[in-house]
Chains A and B, each alone.
Chain A
Amino acid sequence: MVLNRMFFEEPWHEVERIQNEMNRLFNSRLSRGRLAYPAVNVWNDSEKVIVTTELPGYDPQKIDLSILNDELVIRGKREPEKSGDDIQIHRQERPIGDFERTVALPYRVDSEKVDAHYEKGVLTITLPRAESDKPRKISIKSK
């Protein structure tokens, strides 16, 4: 029994553990690569949804928000800081160009009452829940 465990069960467990670890590493690498830009944080309660995203250096006039049913689409464009022939670029880590991001919301929102503000490079969007989508309390009558 002891031998069994040592030579059969234990090595197998070890293999399984290594495999799990490999999967975890591999998945986290993959999922990190797959994440859409820009990253968003989404908060919600029964009344509203708040979406925040970090968009440093964008012109708020050029950030486009649209809502269709329960999806929020954020589009934007960032121009390179400076360009010209006499410029030598040493490092370029900041993303430039167009982006489009679709965020699925937990429920339908009232697109007329959406409020968005841009401060210190952070965009905060507040989306109130549509009246028609709010849960309604139904009173039960008894005879």
Chain B
Amino acid sequence: MATDKTSVQKREADTREVAERTRSGKVFIPAVDIFETNEAIFLIADMPGVDEKSININLEKNVLTIEGKVQHYEPEKMELAYAEYNVGDYQRSFNLSDSIDQDKIDATIKDGVLSVKLPKAEPAKPKTISVKTK
């Protein structure tokens, strides 16, 4: 069940594809899980250092963009003995299909994990048609 954690490292985002940034620092692609139930699609993203005030979710023309700003932490007057990870902002975009009810998207963030619920629109839900006999 455990995934190979040794291969899990932060991936840096290629920000050249979108508009250029006006904030300095690195940008990372958050690791995500995407799963689907009968009612909705869930998107879970690891964004350590981000809270409800520093997260920004934007939906434009079927493209869902999640952005998180991270405050850089550096203890004063201390020497960085070794650094294995970099701290930076997060950014990632997803294409949504038409089957998502865009008005009912719901997002929560806790302990640096963002959960976005994308409910399926009514017509996309499987319908059973009852057959009557005369």
Q: Which residues of A contact B (CB under 8 A)?
A: 32-45, 49-50, 52, 54-58, 80-82, 84, 86-99, 106, 118, 120-122, 124
Bound: A95/B8 CA distance, A: 7
Check A35–B84 contact: CB distance below 8 A.
Answer: yes
Q: Which A-chain residue is minimally distant from B115 (CB atoms)?
A: A81
Bound: A48/B123 CA distance, A: 60
Residue B64 CB within 8 A of the other chain: no
17 more A-B contacts (CB under 8 A) besides A33-B6, A41-B82, A87-B35? A37-B6, A37-B8, A45-B79, A49-B81, A56-B46, A56-B48, A56-B112, A58-B111, A86-B37, A89-B35, A91-B34, A93-B8, A96-B3, A97-B1, A97-B3, A120-B112, A122-B112
Interface string of B1-37 (1 = CB under 8 A from A): 1110111111000000000000000000001111111
Q: Which B-chain residue is minimally distant from A58 (CB atoms)?
A: B111
Would A121 and B75 be within 8 Å (CB), given that A41-B85, A57-B113 are in contact? Answer: no
Bound: A90/B6 CA distance, A: 22
Chain A residues near B47: list those with CB within 8 A. Answer: 56, 121
Check A91–B32 contact: CB distance below 8 A.
Answer: yes
Residue B51 CB within 8 A of the other chain: yes
Check B78–A120 contact: CB distance below 8 A.
Answer: no
Check A120–B37 contact: CB distance below 8 A.
Answer: no
Would A82 and B35 be within 8 Å (CB), given that A55-B48, A121-B46 are in contact? Answer: yes
A83 CB, nearest partner CB in chain B, Å: 9
Bound: A37/B47 CA distance, A: 16
21 A-B residue pairs with Cβ-Cβ distance under 8 Å, sorted by A, are: A33-B6, A36-B6, A39-B9, A39-B85, A42-B83, A54-B48, A54-B112, A57-B46, A80-B1, A81-B42, A84-B37, A86-B37, A92-B33, A93-B33, A94-B46, A95-B3, A95-B5, A98-B2, A120-B49, A120-B111, A122-B48
Interface string of B100-117 (1 = CB under 8 A from A): 000000000011110100
Give the contacting residue for A41; candidates B7, B46, B48, B80; CB below 8 A.
B80
